[in-house]
Structure 1
């Protein structure tokens, strides 16, 4: 049964630890195959933390476990001191842990403004006003405009999502995620498929969006990771290989070997 979550439950306790999200012994087994095995993670509050690894390392599975898309075979997940291991994805999102490019998927035939407004309707408990007159959701327009301006889409507010370039669509997805006012944003391959001209603006947008919140990012582009992330966790064959700053992990011989010998991703 879904839990009813008060606003107070979303506020971190003043005496809470320095870590917003932790996992202990996180494991996911499919038959006899361990996609993730006994992984420990500690994501420091207010940081940008990357989860990287060669193809087949288990990054996607780990990400899906943290966001409750998958149920772990073993282990625990704690968000702001609360055990969320058995919770549903929707309930975890209400607590403030939001996965971008999942919840924030855009509606191609709605304008940029309308897409952000739909997300705001969900955040402010007006989801069913979607079917009512525009006057019911007009109070959300100012906030929607503010979010579009923040991600550089003020001039594109009246374009449909289908009309936006790939980079601008990603910016719109970040705007709709921010509309949910997350404490933790989990970004899955935010620069995947982008040309060089879009990567730097999106990287700066993520840096701006991270102010005042925690970000966990899965990213293949190591140049993005090197300039954006405070700490990096490296997975290999579903297990924790090492963790540290970019300088530490990029010079680690085991990491270098792992990247040279990758296989197909999960």
Structure 2
């Protein structure tokens, strides 16, 4: 699976300089039946950076990620995207603004080809609802861009292969291609290398780096080798609260983080 890093087209970044931080959480809190899964979390994601949200099991990172992507609504606190308060918006509304979660559009359709999957995402982007009975002529103008996206994630040779028949690593690449079709300003990735063998992790890591050019990426990731090689800044959660934040070198040497990971975070 080859990846053409230089070819991935970023959205218009003319107004990226308006603020250093594109995604901000202030006092973010989420209660479930009286239990605080996330409590008073403050997070600032800088424009153009790759930012990781990590923590031991039960740290609250998935809940925090779901709050930021508007899959969940916060109990208190607020979320700012491009300076606007999006706390009360739905996930579909923030996606249209450019805050897009990978796998947000139901991952992939297993019985559609790779090309058809990307075309569905493009139809969503351009406001053309997908209908199985529409003629191929009606959606043909989207094929060129769909083919470009497949080439950019290393799936040009698999364009006519059903998603169900792709390897696990290629399915993840296809999911990223469908997300890129929505032209995100901020790309949110939930465990992008989960379940992958070593042979797939490096290509996906290169793909994320390529996708981050001209964009911002926030990811939740368990593989700390990936985090150390990929991310500019890291926020560590424990018990639903921020434990540490900084570069990988800073957080990996933090005694509180080392204790939380029961002996260190080097892999």
Quick check: TM above 0.5?
A: yes
Q: CA deviation at 1:130?
A: 4.7
- Out of 170, 176, 197, the position equivalent to 2:178 is 176
User: 1: distance between equivalents of 2:110 and 2:194?
Assistant: 19
Instruction: Please list every run of at least 4 consecutive aligned residues from structure 1 whose deviation after the TM superposition is greater than 2 angstroms.
Output: 10-16, 128-131
Unaligned runs of 5+ in 2: 1-11
Q: CA deviation at 1:13?
A: 4.7
Q: CA deviation at 1:127?
A: 1.4
Change (3 A) 1:97 1:14: closer
State the TM-score, normalizing by the size of structure 2. Answer: 0.92
User: 1: distance between equivalents of 2:173 and 2:51?
Assistant: 20
Q: CA deviation at 1:128?
A: 4.2
User: 2: distance between equivalents of 1:104 and 1:212?
Assistant: 25
For residue 34 of structure 1, what is the aligned residue in structure 2?
36
Pairwise mapping of residues 32-181 of structure 1 onto structure 2 (< 5 A)? 32-103=34-105, 105-181=107-183
For residue 252 of structure 2, what is the aligned residue in structure 1?
250
Change (3 A) 1:197 1:128: closer
For residue 259 of structure 1, what is the aligned residue in structure 2?
261
User: 2: distance between equivalents of 1:104 and 1:217?
Assistant: 18
Equivalent residue pairs, number: 253
Q: CA deviation at 1:137?
A: 0.4
Q: Is the 1:104–1:174 Cα contact (8 Å) retained in structure 2?
A: no
Q: Give the secondary-structure state (helix, strand or coil) at the position aligned to 1:212.
A: coil
1:89-139 CA deviation, whole Å, 9 max, x = no partner? 110000000000222510000000000000000001111455311111000
RMSD between aligned residues: 1.6
Q: CA deviation at 1:186?
A: 0.3
1:1-60 CA deviation, whole Å, 9 max, x = no partner? xxxxxxxxx987566220000000000001221000000000000000000000000000
State the TM-score, normalizing by the size of structure 1. Answer: 0.92
Unaligned runs of 5+ in 1: 1-9, 262-266
User: 1: distance between equivalents of 2:16 and 2:57?
Assistant: 39
Q: Is the 1:51–1:219 Cα contact (8 Å) retained in structure 2?
A: yes
For residue 231 of structure 1, what is the aligned residue in structure 2?
233
Q: CA deviation at 1:260?
A: 1.3
